[in-house]
Structures are given as C-alpha cells and as structure tokens.
Structure 1
Amino acid sequence: MQHFFIEPSQAEGEWIRLNGSDVNHMKNVLRMHAGERVTVSDGAGKTYQCVIDSYEDKEAVLKIESQEESSTELPSRIYLFQGLPKQEKMEWIVQKSVELGAYQIVPVSMKRCVVKLDAKKAAKKQERWQEISRSAAKQSGRSVIPEVIPVCTFKEALEQAKQLDVILVPYECAEGMKETKTLLEKIWPGQSVGIFIGPEGGFEEAEIEQALAAGAHTITLGKRILRTETAGLTTLSVLMFHLEE
C-alpha cells in the first residue's frame, strides 16, 4: 500500500487533503483512482488508513477509514552522529539509517574529515539529505521523518549527546566483545542512545578522550575494521534487534 506524509493540521475530522508533489505522484505517476486505499502518517506518531475520494484542483481528498498510533518506530530514540564521509556516502548512510530506525542524523565535522563544507554548500547538502530521509521514511513505512540537522562541530555534537542516556563510540582500538555485549544488553526501551561514527580516517585520540569525558563508552564491533558507512549501520542493526518490541 502506498504511504504518504502530511502535517498533523491536514487531518481534519474524517478527511485529509493531500497537496504538493505527492498529488502529482499519486495521480499522474501511480495513476491511482478514487476508491483506492493509501496509508498516511502525520509525522507525529499517528497513521491513517484512507481511501481516495476525489481530486480537486491541486489536492487529493482522502477519507479516513481508521487511525492508530504507529507501531513502526523503535521504542528508543537513536541519534546517529556521523563523521562527514567522502563523495556521496552520506546519502547512502542517511537512507539506510532511516530504514533501520534512526530518530535523527547529525552530520559532524571531525579532525580527520576530508570533506570541508562552507555554509552555502552545507545548507544544500542538508536539504538533499533531508529529502532522502523523507523518501526512505515513506519507503520503509516509518511514521516520522527523521531530521537531518545542520553540520556541526565535534564539540557541538558532544554537547548535544550529553543530554542522552547512552553514548556509544564504535572504535577500532577498543577491545572486549564480552564487555560490549554486556553494555548493549543494559540498554532498555525508552532510553535515548547516541552513536558516534568517525570518518574514513577514524577518530583522533583527542576526540576519543573528549567523548569519554562526556560520558561516552567505546565499544568494539568485532575483529574486523569496518568502513565509516558500515560501522553506524552495524550498530543500528544490533540496537534495532535488541530493542524491537
């Protein structure tokens, strides 16, 4: 069933009026007609089962058949703090992390990041990443669209992470799979979790020291060194499996 997003204010009584590019997609690309059913999420946790009633001007009029609280979100909010990677890897990371249940993606400029973005380029990149997040949320049946916030410094990222319950830093120099498993098993549904992933060159020792001082825990993901675009998704997968109700 096709899945669309709206603002909460667009659901009024028994009706939803869908507008914007989704109407063109529904009408001219998917060629959906009156009587066909769609799923609509309001981005705040509610999901509506609807039937297309009609098309009016640039709107699609949907009749709400039922509504429910979404069951597709993880019981914990997971924040991915991703060191800026080279080329277009960030687009792939955003797409897959949304599919795996990340609540928010935070692009972080770290010491060993090759990519350096000025304010104008960073704004354009963020806009592109947010659109990818929206598309991935639709495809995977999410009830919320994870936010990709503006690129920040490592110091700013740590300040944000201090508000979370758990901070994890997969680190190639970390040891102790038993200790890592014990730590992950202690994370329970409802806790907020931050995952810090270094860029291609990894973390500098000073960054690890700063993270530890902020309350982070270094963990190992095994004996193999994972690429930056793999490490975060691996950690998300482990947490998804552990936390999923």
Structure 2
Amino acid sequence: MKRFFAKPEQIDEREIHITGEDVNHIRQVLRMREGEELWVSDGEKKEYHCRIKDFQQDEILLEILYAQESDYELPSRIYLFQGLPKGDKMELIIQKAVELGAFEVIPVATSRCVVKLDKKKAAKKQERWQEIARNAAKQSRRLLVPQIHPVCSLREALDYSGSLDVKLLPYELAKGMRQTKETLAGIKRGQSIGIFIGPEGGFAPEEVEQAMAVGVEPITLGKRILRTETAGMTVLSILMFQLEDE
C-alpha cells in the first residue's frame, strides 16, 4: 500500500489534507481514485490508514480510517557523514542509508574529494538528494524522512557531531578487529551515533588526526578495502541488526 508524509497542520481529527507535489503524484502518476486506501505518516511515531475521499484542485482530502503508533524507526539516531563521491554514487548511498535506518546524511567535502561543487550546484544536488531520501523513506516504510544536509567541510562536520554519544571512522590503516567488534557491541540503544566515511581516496592522515582529536574513533572493517559506497552501508547494516528492537 502506498505511503505518504504529512505535516501536523495537514492532519485533522478525521481528515488529512494532502498538498504540494504529492497531489500530482497521486492523481497523475499513480492514477489513484476515490475510495482507494493508503498510509500517511506524521513524520514522528504515528501513521494513519486512510481512504481517498475527494479530489480538489490543489489538494486531496483523505478520510482517516484509523491511526496507530508504530516502531519502524531504530532506537538510536544514526548520522552518516559521507565524503563526496564521484558521479551519481551519492544518490545510491542516500537511498540505501535511508533504507537501513539513517536519521540524517551529511555530505562532507574533504581534501581528497574529486567532486568540487559551487554553491549553486551544491544546492541543486541537495534538493535532488532530499527527494531521493523522501522516496526511499516511502518505500522502506519509514515514519520520517531523513534530512539531507547541505555540503559542509570536515571541520563543520566534526563540530556538528560534537554532541553525539559515539563517533566512528572506518579507516583502511586501522587495525584490531577485536577492538572494533567490542566498540560496536558496546553501543547501546538510544545512543546517538556518527559514522564518518571518506571519499574514493579515503581520509588524509591529517584529517584522521583532526577527527581523533575530537573523540572520533577509527575502526577497521576487515582486511579488504571497501569502496566509499560500501563502507557506510556495512557499518549501517551492522548497527541496524544490532540495535533493532524485537
């Protein structure tokens, strides 16, 4: 069943008012009709099973059949700090990160990033990435749409991560799989987690030192070198499996 998101001001006691781009998507793309049913999330913990009641010019009126609180979200908020990759890899990374439960994705321009975006291009990319996150959230039955931040510097990313409980940086020169396993196993439900992933060339040694100086812990993901689009998904997959409620 199709899923959409609505803001609190769109939700009444018995009805939901769908507005914006979703109106055209429901009407023209999905070609849904009056009487058909769908799900709407309020972006927090509640979701509504609805029936299409009426098509109006600028909105679609939904009748709420029933509401329920759900626990599809992970008990911990995971922040993915992703070094800008080449080509369209960021689109895949965002899509999969949302599916795996990431709470926010923060694109980071590091010294070894091949991609260089000016403000105008970065703004267009962010808009595109946010739409990908929204679609992935619908598909994976998320209760919220993860925020995709504007591209920032590593210094800005480290500052933003300052209040997080756990901060990890998979690093190809890190050793000690046992220590990594202990670190991951020690993460508790409810803790906030930051994952720092370098671009194709990885983090420069001075960037790793800069991160370690503010409490970011380098970890190893094994003896093989993972691509940038694989490393973050590996950590997210481990954390999703470990933190998922029964």
Task: Give TM-score, length-normalised by structure 2.
Answer: 0.97
Q: How far did residue 28 of structure 1 move? A: 2.7
Instruction: State the AA in 1 paired with 2:42.
Output: D
Residues 41-61 of structure 1: CA deviation (Å, up to 9, x unaligned): 122332111111121223211
Q: Which residue of 2 aligns with 1:22?
A: 22
Rounded to whole Å, the distance in 2 between the matches of 1:59 and 1:157 is 39
- Superposed, 1:1-245 pairs within 5 Å as 1-245=1-245
Structure 1 stretch 15-24 or stretch 203-212: which is displaced more?
A: 15-24
Rounded to whole Å, the distance in 2 between the matches of 1:206 and 1:68 is 49
Rounded to whole Å, the distance in 1 between the matches of 2:199 and 2:27 is 42
Rounded to whole Å, the distance in 2 between the matches of 1:153 and 1:3 is 35
Rounded to whole Å, the distance in 2 between the matches of 1:203 and 1:29 is 43
Rounded to whole Å, the distance in 1 between the matches of 2:48 and 2:140 is 16
Residues 134-161 of structure 1: CA deviation (Å, up to 9, x unaligned): 1111111111110111111101101111
Rounded to whole Å, the distance in 2 between the matches of 1:38 and 1:65 is 10
Structure 1 stretch 4-13 or stretch 15-24: which is displaced more?
A: 15-24
Rounded to whole Å, the distance in 1 between the matches of 2:100 and 2:233 is 8
The aligned length equals: 245
Instruction: State the AA in 2 paired with 1:118.
Output: D
Rounded to whole Å, the distance in 2 between the matches of 1:208 and 1:56 is 55
Q: How far did residue 33 of structure 1 move? A: 2.1
Across the aligned residues of Structure 1 and Structure 2, the Cα RMSD in angstroms comes to: 1.0
Residues 65-110 of structure 1: CA deviation (Å, up to 9, x unaligned): 2222231111100000000111111111111101111000000010
Which 4+ residue blocks in structure 1 deviate beyond 6 angstroms? none
Contact in 2 for aligned 1:46/1:69 (Cα 8 Å): yes
Q: Give unmatched runs, 5+ long, in structure 2.
A: none
Rounded to whole Å, the distance in 1 between the matches of 2:107 and 2:25 is 30
Rounded to whole Å, the distance in 2 between the matches of 1:126 and 1:169 is 23
Rounded to whole Å, the distance in 2 between the matches of 1:30 and 1:91 is 23
Rounded to whole Å, the distance in 2 between the matches of 1:175 and 1:38 is 49
Contact in 2 for aligned 1:8/1:44 (Cα 8 Å): no
Rounded to whole Å, the distance in 1 between the matches of 2:191 and 2:168 is 13
Rounded to whole Å, the distance in 1 between the matches of 2:129 and 2:70 is 24
